[in-house]
Amino acid sequence: VIRPLISEGSVVIADRFHDSTTAYQGFGRGLNAEAVNKINEIATGGTFPDITFYIKISVDESAKRKSKCNADLDRIERSNDNFYQKVIGGYEHLALEFPDRIKTINGERTPEEIHLDIVAKLKETMMIGIG
């Protein structure tokens, strides 16, 4: 689905992709890093994100927000704090390993502030005109 759009010159925005798989499965679930990378490569056809926004939020703040949500939680959303600490550690590791590509965003602010930060980082990184 993604590769044909990229081939056409489209910009593709995904809420989950390569880095989330690595953080959740590799770090969170403790799966073999080499296996996770190989699965990512197969699943994405070697497509790699140009930019990833790591929206950083504490486990406590995440729990507060989930408690306000009326929706049913999926299997991952029902995971314990230890799992989420590992996932956060995974994202932190990836952000340090790929600082030019992975942009850390303070997710404990308002949606409007987060949006403005993302737009600013897109302008800076991608050198594109966004209104």
pLDDT of residue 129: 56
Whether domain 2-126 has CATH 3.30.1330.100: no
pLDDT of residue 127: 62
Domain regions of the chain by residue span: 2-126
Instruction: Check pLDDT > 90 for residue 117.
Output: yes
Question: Higher pLDDT residue, 93 or 66?
Answer: 93
pLDDT in tens, 14-41: 888 889 999 999 999 999 999 999 999 9
Instruction: Check pLDDT > 70 for residue 105.
Output: yes
pLDDT of residue 95: 96
The dihedral sign for the CA sequence 32, 38, 39, 41: positive
Please identify which residue in the block is written with the tokens 């991952």.
76
**What angle is formed at CA 112 by the lines to CA 55 and CA 13, rounded to 5 degrees?**
50
* Mean pLDDT of the residues in the chain: 88
**Whole-number percent of the chain with pLDDT over 90:** 55
